[in-house]
Amino acid sequence: MNICFNGCSLTEGQGFPIDQRDLYIYDRLLEKQFLFERTNIAQGGSSNYTIFMRSAESILSGNYNCVVTQWSALNRIWFYPGPDSQFFVNDRSSIDFVYRDIRISAKEKEKFKNTLLLLNGDYHNIIELVKFTKILETLAESNGIKLVFINGLVPWTDDLIQPLGSNFDQSLSAYTKDILDFDNRKDNEILDFFTQLQKQFQMLNQSLWVNLFHSFHHNTQDLGPEGHHPGINSHQWMATETSKFFIQNNII
């Protein structure tokens, strides 16, 4: 059994020195438990588009029996000013960005990133993520490969699968209200936008998800030795949740 793990920094193992990742990162813990062959292609800072593309390539490669895809934050965007340069919106570096004749100061970079985040709301990114999962599901089924999804940083809430009551204020989570621009919409607009979003979400195959509404990020219990990203206990939690999913769904 050969399993490919894909995702962002959570699955890559950032927060731990490289020489400690084999001891503590959740995919390594699973490898030791089930004794399968493991490949980790996760890359820190990845957008869901880049994660989607890597998983699609992994499925089509024919090298794996199963592809585990950990989805990241919804609004990440990557840009490529040149063949050897990249700029991603979620980069928190406080240094200037320089590429050939392009120079963006740290202050300008922060303002640019904040503006892009304002222009890139989660509503349509949720719909896009659902489409990514459906495409991967079709590819995996066509190629006889098992597929597993992990919620790494997706903040959606379970009101997306609940009937919408007459009192919108009580029925909707704070997150859903935010992406619907709740305070600035009339009730008929809220109903229309939420109904469209819920209809798209219903296309999601929930049975493929280890932790659909309980993201790895929001269940972080401790930090790694480098002072950031999930720590030992957090990765053990993720390994336990994934292990239960593997067993219940006959992945291994």
> Would you say residue 195 lies in a domain?
no
Q: How many domains does one find in the chain?
A: 2
Q: Are 40 and 12 in contact (CB under 8 A)?
A: yes
H or E element in which residue 40 lies: strand 37-40
d(Cα 22, Cα 26) in Å, to the nearest integer?
9
Q: Looking at the structure, tell me whether residues 47 and 145 fall in a common domain.
A: yes
**Range of 107's domain?**
78-119
Q: 20: domain CATH number?
A: 3.40.50.1110
Q: Looking at the structure, tell me whether residues 128 and 43 fall in a common domain.
A: yes
Long-range contacts of 26-31, Cβ-Cβ distance < 8 Å, separation of 24 or more: 26/235, 26/236, 26/238, 26/239, 26/242, 27/3, 27/68, 27/239, 29/235, 29/236, 29/239, 30/3, 30/239, 30/242, 30/243, 30/246, 31/3
β-bridge partners, 237: none
β-bridge partners, 150: 70
Q: Looking at the structure, tell me whether residues 19 and 32 fall in a common domain.
A: yes
Q: Are 115 and 35 in contact (CB under 8 A)?
A: no
- The SS3 call for residue 97 is strand
Render each residue's pLDDT in the chain as its tens digit; 252 residues.
Answer: 999 999 999 999 999 999 999 999 999 999 999 999 999 999 999 999 999 999 999 999 999 999 999 999 999 988 899 998 988 777 666 789 899 888 999 899 889 888 988 889 999 999 999 999 999 999 999 999 999 999 999 999 999 999 999 999 999 999 999 999 999 999 999 999 999 999 999 999 999 999 999 999 999 999 999 999 999 999 999 999 999 999 999 998
pLDDT of residue 91: 66
Q: Looking at the structure, tell me whether residues 94 and 82 fall in a common domain.
A: yes
Q: Are 242 and 34 in contact (CB under 8 A)?
A: no
Q: Looking at the structure, tell me whether residues 58 and 110 fall in a common domain.
A: no
Q: Read off the DSSP letter of residue 120.
A: S
Q: Looking at the structure, tell me whether residues 133 and 218 fall in a common domain.
A: yes
Q: Looking at the structure, tell me whether residues 70 and 86 fall in a common domain.
A: no
> Would you say residue 238 lies in a domain?
yes
> Would you say residue 17 lies in a domain?
yes
Q: Looking at the structure, tell me whether residues 150 and 229 fall in a common domain.
A: yes
pLDDT of residue 71: 98
Strands (E) in 110-224, as ranges, are: 146-151
